[in-house]
Amino acid sequence: MSIHVHVRVGVEWVNDFHNDSCEQNDLSYCDDQVVGFYNHMGNHGHTKVFNWGNDNAWETDFRHPTFGGDSLNWSDDVHFCMVNDHGGNNSNIVSFSFSKAHTACSVSSTKMRLGRKNLKWLAALGCDAVLNTNASHIVAVWGGPMQGVHIVCGYIGTAADSWWTSDLGEDFADDICDGDTIAGAWVSDAYSFWTGDDSIAIAAGFSRDDAINRRDHETLDWRDINVTSTNWLAWKYRT
């Protein structure tokens, strides 16, 4: 099955941190995963909008203007955004870490309003998109930030920064551009028996059926079928 719409794609990644207030352990393969996704989406005819890495990746790109950020010009001005760096999750709040304070070293999910403009799908490849699979935890983490975005993809607990998972973005892009469902392709591609990566995809919907339908059937062709209100979340995961 082929895809009939074009989507705008943006990616951000951080491998190298500095010995300053934003210091974190350096990573090595974040760019391989997300730039692979970016380029393969482009190869399939989709529009490559931004690829910001290391100090060019800014937390303001994810922070909503209500909180002084610029998300509506970046992460929320594309249809599909993928971000890969250190992630954290504390008290049901996800955070993405950045190497340069622009203007902070990290952004928390309480300052995200995902999907207020154009964003339909977010893949957060850092660790701890969720810490466990309790429904109360999942809705507490993502029920607030998902405000129009259709599906969020991520990991349960830690993820590997590894040569052997560096093709993930390419595989995922190829699968969804061939017409595979977004949630199904993510959960299948990102799960790894040998690295121990446990994958999860969370869909939003105005009703239970809407959320389930998106989780089970949504492809890139659903770009313009908006989530009118995030009343329900439906997710799938392998563990």
Partner 1 sequence: MSRAQIGSHGSIAPNATEKPMADIKINAKLTSPKGKPAPIYRLTTRRVNEKAIRELANRLGMQAEAKSGLLRSDADKLTFSVGHLELTMHRASGAVRFIDRARWQVDDRQSDLKIEDAVASRLAQTFARKYELAPAAETKFFKAARLHVAEATREGKEASDRVIDVAVALQRLVENIPVDGPGGKIVVYFNAQREMTGFQQVWRELDGVYKRGQSYRSPESAVEDMAAHFAKKRALIEVEEVRFGYFEEGPRTKQRYLQPAYVIIGMLSAADGQGRKRTIYVAPALTNNAGRITPPLEVKRSQRRRPETEAGYKER
Q: How far is the CB of 215 from partner 1 (least distance, A)?
A: 7
Q: Site mask, partner 1, residues 120-149, x = CB under 8 A?
A: ------xxx----x-xx-xxx--x------
The only residue of 124, 151, 190, 233 in contact with partner 1, by rule CB under 8 A = 233
- Comparing CB distances to partner 1, the nearer of 149 and 159 is 159
Residue 103 lies near partner 1 (rule: CB under 8 A): no
Question: Using CB under 8 A, which of 9, 123, 159, 182 touches partner 1?
Answer: 159
- Residue 73 near partner 1 by CB under 8 A: yes
Continuous segment of H or E residues that includes residue 95: strand 93-97
Minimal distance, residue 4 CB to partner 1, in Å: 19
Residue pointed to by tokens 């995922």:
172
User: Nearest approach, Cβ of 225 to partner 1 (angstroms)?
Assistant: 19
Q: Does 213 bind partner 1 (CB under 8 A)?
A: no
Are the C-beta atoms of 157 and 128 separated by less than 8 Å? yes
The position carrying tokens 């799908």 is 121
Among 55, 110, 116, 221, binds partner 1 (CB under 8 A): 55
At residue 71, the 3 state secondary structure works out as helix
- Using CB under 8 A as the binding rule, whether residue 175 contacts partner 1 is answered as no
- Of the candidates 114, 115, 153, 127, the one whose C-alpha atom is nearest the C-alpha of residue 235 is 153
Can residue 189 be called a binding residue for partner 1 (CB under 8 A)?
no
Residues 172 and 188: beta-carbon distance below 8 Å: no
Among 196, 225, 226, 228, binds partner 1 (CB under 8 A): 196
Q: With 0-12 CB in 10 A as exposed, 13-18 as middle and 19+ as buried, what is 20?
A: exposed
Beta carbon of residue 30, minimum distance to partner 1 (angstroms, whole number)? 9
Residue 218's identity, in one-letter code, is E
62 sits near partner 1 (criterion: CB under 8 A): no
Residue number with CB closer to partner 1 (122 or 141): 141
Q: Which is nearer to partner 1, 28 or 66 (CB)?
A: 28
Interatomic CA distance for residues 157 and 129, integer angstroms: 7
Q: What distance in Å separates the CA atoms of residue 187 and residue 189, rounded to the nearest whole number?
A: 6
Distance CA 90, CA 108 (A): 10
CB of 74 to partner 1, least distance (A): 6
Choosing from 39, 106, 110, 116, the residue that interacts with partner 1 (CB under 8 A) is 106
Which residue among 77, 175, 189, 218 contacts partner 1 (CB under 8 A)? 77
Beta strands 151-155 and 199-205 are antiparallel
Cβ atoms of 145 and 176 closer than 8 Å: no
